[in-house]
């Protein structure tokens, strides 16, 4: 038997990793990212002559836990047609036995990278509203994302927002949704293992508890999700993650922190974050629309439902909202005073 050197081992690993696209209409281009389940490649659809993203499992087989998860993700995506949710094109099993699906190739940046170039708070909030839009749509179709975090949000060159990675999605059985019809009947049961992801300092985890399997990302995962109370998860679990995402957009951190270098949040925004991230789901916003409404009210300088203002705060907000007219009237009055003073000299 021939001795395999370390470099031969590396070469064998590299050669064995690429998916076998024989018999498909796709041609492999580059590797884009590696996640917990497998790899995402850029590929060319030779029939339509367009670039697509191809997500493929590492190991063959269409009946394992990871394969079921990938298939379910593809089906959930296929049922969620929304401008804020990445569209899926095709799916199946490759010649090497690995399950795959193809989706729109998103040319953009991850949210955490993108916001480095967006300084204005109102611009960040408008971006956040587009994320809320996509998540609210999914909730209306009976789907919880369960892993909302900056690494799973892409922003395109024209500011379009796409919510990615629906691998942990949960189908709410009670929802009137055609997603529930296409999804795996076991979708609400999560006894599935997961692998560490490689996307930054927050790591997707999977821990088996007495109640179920904990899957999600610390910092963005609701307390009930972290406890493994999966049967009790509803839209308010995603609202917790949206709250953490909002805090991240405003301060650069998902948690409430007063560390040096982190600017203090405006009281209304801090209240929105606090309400979204309340430990008890009952104390959170009941749905994404209400959370988005509070953000929209903040953007047009109206009182937000999450914060009861003092008289002084009301005065400040009144001044901010009508600053132009107040300054105009003040200037007019000042001018009148000057004219009167001049005439009485």
Partner 1 sequence: MTEEDFQPGGDRFPPTRRSVIEAARSIDAEERERALEALCAAYWKPVYKYVRWRWKRPAEAAQDLTQGFFAELLERGLLDNFDSKKSRLRTYLRICVDSFVMNEDKAARRQKRGGSIPHVALDFAAAEDEFGATVMDPASIPSPESLEEFFEKEWVRSLFTLAVEDLRELCKQRERTRTFRLFEAYDLEANEKISYEQLSNDYGLPVTDVTNALAWARREFRKIALDRLRELCGSEEEFHREARAAFGWDAK
Provide the annotated active-site residues. Answer: 147
Task: Check residue 90 and give left, alpha or beta (phi > 0: left; psi -120 to 50: alpha).
Answer: beta
- 92 forms part of the interface with partner 1 (CB under 8 A): yes
- 262 forms part of the interface with partner 1 (CB under 8 A): no
In sequence order, what DSSP letters do the residues of 204-219 get, joined into one string? -EEEE-SSSEEEE-TT
335, 341, 343, 345 alpha-carbon torsion, rounded to 10°:
-150
Q: How many residues bind partner 1 (CB under 8 A)?
A: 47
The structure tokens listed for 196 are 């560490």
Q: Are 136 and 209 in contact (CB under 8 A)?
A: no
Among 40, 74, 115, 138, binds partner 1 (CB under 8 A): 74
Among 25, 34, 297, 317, binds partner 1 (CB under 8 A): 34
Distance between CA atoms of 145 and 165, rounded to whole angstroms?
Answer: 8
The region of 52-60, 219-227, 238-246, 287-295 touching partner 1 under the rule CB under 8 A is 52-60
Q: Are 46 and 26 in contact (CB under 8 A)?
A: yes
Q: Are 226 and 214 in contact (CB under 8 A)?
A: yes
Distance between CA atoms of 118 and 153, rounded to whole angstroms?
Answer: 15
The structure tokens listed for 135 are 């998540």
Smallest distance, partner 1 to C-beta of residue 90, A: 8
Q: In terms of CB distance, is 6 or 176 closer to partner 1?
A: 6
**How many CB atoms are located within 10 Å of the residue 212 CB?**
19
- 343 forms part of the interface with partner 1 (CB under 8 A): no
The region of 56-64, 144-152, 228-236, 268-276 touching partner 1 under the rule CB under 8 A is 56-64
- 64 forms part of the interface with partner 1 (CB under 8 A): yes
Among 32, 42, 58, 296, binds partner 1 (CB under 8 A): 58
236, 238, 242, 244 alpha-carbon torsion, rounded to 10°:
90
Among 99, 115, 172, 304, binds partner 1 (CB under 8 A): 99
- 148 forms part of the interface with partner 1 (CB under 8 A): no
Smallest distance, partner 1 to C-beta of residue 77, A: 10
Q: What is the binding site for partner 1 (CB under 8 A)?
A: 1-13, 15-18, 20, 22, 34, 39, 58-62, 64-67, 71, 74-75, 78, 90-93, 95-97, 99, 101, 193, 195-196, 198
């Amino acid at each position: 038997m021939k001795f395999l050197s370390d470099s031969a081992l590396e070469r064998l690993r590299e050669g064995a990793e690429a998916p076998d696209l024989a018999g498909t209409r796709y041609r492999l281009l580059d590797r884009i990212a590696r996640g917990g389940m497998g790899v995402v490649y850029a590929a060319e659809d030779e029939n339509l002559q367009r670039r697509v993203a191809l997500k493929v499992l590492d190991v063959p087989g269409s009946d394992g836990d990871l394969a079921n998860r990938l298939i379910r993700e593809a089906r959930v995506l296929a049922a969620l047609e929304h401008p804020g949710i990445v569209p899926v094109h095709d799916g199946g099993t490759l010649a090497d036995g690995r399950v795959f699906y193809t989706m729109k190739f998103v040319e953009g940046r991850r949210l955490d990278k993108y916001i480095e170039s967006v300084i204005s708070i109102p611009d960040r909030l408008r971006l956040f509203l587009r994320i809320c839009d996509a998540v609210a749509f999914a909730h209306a179709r009976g789907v919880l994302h369960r892993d909302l975090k900056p690494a799973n949000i892409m922003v395109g060159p024209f500011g379009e927002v796409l919510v990615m990675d629906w691998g942990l999605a949960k189908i709410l059985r009670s929802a009137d949704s055609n997603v529930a019809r296409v999804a795996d009947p076991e979708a609400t049961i999560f006894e599935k293992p997961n692998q560490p992801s490689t996307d930054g300092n927050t790591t997707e985890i999977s821990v088996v508890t007495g109640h179920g399997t904990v899957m999600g990302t610390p910092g963005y995962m609701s307390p009930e999700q972290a406890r493994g109370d999966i049967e009790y998860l509803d839209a308010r679990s995603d609202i917790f993650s949206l709250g953490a995402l909002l805090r991240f957009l405003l301060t650069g951190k998902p948690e409430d922190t007063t560390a040096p270098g982190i600017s203090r949040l405006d009281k209304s925004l801090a209240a929105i974050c606090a309400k979204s991230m309340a430990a008890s789901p009952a104390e959170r916003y009941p749905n994404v629309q209400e959370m988005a409404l509070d953000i929209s009210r903040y953007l047009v300088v109206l009182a937000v439902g999450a914060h009861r203002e003092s008289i002084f705060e009301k005065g400040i907000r009144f001044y901010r909202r009508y600053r132009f007219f107040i300054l105009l009237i003040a200037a007019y009055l000042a001018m009148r005073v000057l004219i009167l003073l001049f005439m009485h000299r």
